A and B are shown apart, each in its own frame.
Chain A
Amino acid sequence: MSSLESNVDALLPELLAAFGPSGRESGVRRALRKALRGLGTLTEDSTGNLRLHRPGRGPRLLLATPMDAAGVIVTRVDASGLGRVTMLGGRAPVELVGTTVVFEDGRKALLGYDRGPGSKNGADLEADQLFLETGLGKKGEREFPVGSVGAIEDRPERLGDYWCGANLEGRAGCAAVVAALRAARTSRYDLHVVFAAQSDVGARGATTGAFGIDPELAIVVDVAHLEGKETPGVVVGQGPCLGLKESGYVAHPQALALLKKAAAAARVKTQWLIREHEGTDARAIRAVRVGVPTGLVAIPARRSGGAFSLAHARDITQTAALVAKLLAAAPAKGGSR
Chain B
Amino acid sequence: MIAPAFDDVLLGRLSEASGVSGGEGAVRRILIDEVRDHVDSLEIDALGSLVARIAPASRTNGSRRRGPHVLLCAHMDEVGLMVTAIEKEGRLRVRRVGGIDQRILVGQVFRIGVNGLRGVLGALPPHLVPRADREKVIAIEDMYLDIGASSRDEAERHVAVGDYACFDTTYEQWGSTRKGKAFDDRVGCTVLASLVKRRPPVPVTAVWSVQEEVGLRGAGAAARRANADLAIVLEGTASGEAPGASAGESAPVMGGGPALTVQDRTLMADARLVDLLERTGKERKIPTQWKRPGVGGTDAGRISLSGAGIPAAVVSVACRYIHAPAAYLDVRDPQRVTALVWHTLESLRKEWT
A212, B293: Cβ atoms under 8 Å? no
A156 contacts chain B at the CB level, 8 A cutoff: no
Interface residue stretch chosen among B36-44, B69-77, B301-309: B301-309
Interface residue stretch chosen among A117-125, A203-211, A230-238: A203-211
Most chain A beta-carbon neighbours within 10 Å: one of B247, B268, B311? B268
A23, B268: Cβ atoms under 8 Å? yes
Q: In chain A, residues 194-232, which have Cβ atoms closer than 8 Å to a Cβ of chain B? A: 198, 201, 204-205, 207-209, 211-212
A147 and B251 contact, Cβ closer than 8 Å, known pairs A22-B268, A46-B270, A208-B305: no
B221 contacts chain A at the CB level, 8 A cutoff: no
A84 and B248 contact, Cβ closer than 8 Å, known pairs A47-B304, A146-B290, A208-B307: yes
| 8 Å CB contact of B294 from A45, A127, A198 | A127
A75 and B292 contact, Cβ closer than 8 Å, known pairs A23-B263, A24-B271: yes
- Rounded to whole angstroms, the CA-CA distance of A212 and B307 in the bound complex is 7
Q: Please, which residues of chain B bring their CB within 8 A of the CB of A16?
A: none
Taken residue by residue from 255 to 277, chain B's Cβ proximity to chain A (1 for < 8 Å, 0 otherwise) reads as: 00000001100001011000000
Q: How many A-B residue pairs have CB under 8 A?
A: 74
A73 and B294 contact, Cβ closer than 8 Å, known pairs A46-B311, A147-B263: yes
Q: Please, which residues of chain A bring their CB within 8 A of the CB of B311?
A: 46
| Distance (whole angstroms) from the CB of B163 to the closest CB of chain A | 35
| 8 Å CB contact of B263 from A78, A84, A88 | A88
Q: Please, which residues of chain B bring their CB within 8 A of the CB of A47?
A: 304-305, 309
B249 contacts chain A at the CB level, 8 A cutoff: yes
- Rounded to whole angstroms, the CA-CA distance of A192 and B64 in the bound complex is 36
Taken residue by residue from 41 to 59, chain A's Cβ proximity to chain B (1 for < 8 Å, 0 otherwise) reads as: 0000111100000000000
| 8 Å CB contact of B248 from A76, A127, A149, A198 | A76
| Distance (whole angstroms) from the CB of B201 to the closest CB of chain A | 22
Residues of A within 8 A of B (CB): 22-24, 45-48, 73-78, 84, 86-88, 127, 145-147, 149, 198, 201, 204-205, 207-209, 211-212
| 8 Å CB contact of A73 from B248, B251, B293 | B293
Q: In chain B, residues 269-316, which have Cβ atoms closer than 8 Å to a Cβ of chain A? A: 270-271, 290, 292-295, 304-305, 307-311
- Rounded to whole angstroms, the CA-CA distance of A24 and B271 in the bound complex is 8
Taken residue by residue from 302 to 335, chain B's Cβ proximity to chain A (1 for < 8 Å, 0 otherwise) reads as: 0011011111000000000000000000000000
Q: Please, which residues of chain B bring their CB within 8 A of the CB of A74?
A: 293
Q: Please, which residues of chain B bring their CB within 8 A of the CB of A77?
A: 248
Q: Please, which residues of chain B bring their CB within 8 A of the CB of A127?
A: 294
Can you give 10 A-B contacts (C-beta < 8 A)?
A24-B268, A46-B304, A46-B311, A47-B304, A73-B262, A73-B294, A75-B292, A88-B263, A147-B262, A147-B290
Number of B residues contacting the other chain (C-beta, 8 Å)? 22
In the complex, residue of chain B having the shortest beta-carbon distance to the beta carbon of A26:
B271
The 10 closest A-B pairs by CB, nearest first: A23-B268, A86-B294, A208-B309, A147-B262, A212-B308, A76-B248, A146-B290, A47-B309, A73-B293, A46-B309
Most chain A beta-carbon neighbours within 10 Å: one of B247, B292, B308? B308
Residues of B within 8 A of A (CB): 230, 247-249, 251, 262-263, 268, 270-271, 290, 292-295, 304-305, 307-311
In the complex, residue of chain B having the shortest beta-carbon distance to the beta carbon of A208:
B309
In the complex, residue of chain B having the shortest beta-carbon distance to the beta carbon of A146:
B290
In the complex, residue of chain A having the shortest beta-carbon distance to the beta carbon of B272:
A46
| 8 Å CB contact of A86 from B251, B270, B293, B304 | B293
A75 and B294 contact, Cβ closer than 8 Å, known pairs A47-B304, A84-B248, A88-B263: yes
Q: Please, which residues of chain A bring their CB within 8 A of the CB of B290?
A: 145-147
| Distance (whole angstroms) from the CB of B161 to the closest CB of chain A | 34
Q: Please, which residues of chain B bring their CB within 8 A of the CB of A149?
A: 262-263
B310, A73: Cβ atoms under 8 Å? no
Q: Please, which residues of chain A bring their CB within 8 A of the CB of B271?
A: 23-24
In the complex, residue of chain A having the shortest beta-carbon distance to the beta carbon of B268:
A23
Q: Please, which residues of chain B bring their CB within 8 A of the CB of A147?
A: 262-263, 290, 293
In the complex, residue of chain A having the shortest beta-carbon distance to the beta carbon of B292:
A75
| Distance (whole angstroms) from the CB of B149 to the closest CB of chain A | 46
- Rounded to whole angstroms, the CA-CA distance of A88 and B263 in the bound complex is 9
In the complex, residue of chain B having the shortest beta-carbon distance to the beta carbon of A213:
B308
- Rounded to whole angstroms, the CA-CA distance of A84 and B262 in the bound complex is 15
| 8 Å CB contact of A211 from B263, B268, B293, B308 | B308
- Rounded to whole angstroms, the CA-CA distance of A201 and B305 in the bound complex is 12
B262, A146: Cβ atoms under 8 Å? yes
- Rounded to whole angstroms, the CA-CA distance of A46 and B306 in the bound complex is 11
- Rounded to whole angstroms, the CA-CA distance of A145 and B293 in the bound complex is 12
- Rounded to whole angstroms, the CA-CA distance of A121 and B304 in the bound complex is 38
A207, B293: Cβ atoms under 8 Å? no
| Distance (whole angstroms) from the CB of A59 to the closest CB of chain B | 20
| Distance (whole angstroms) from the CB of A192 to the closest CB of chain B | 12
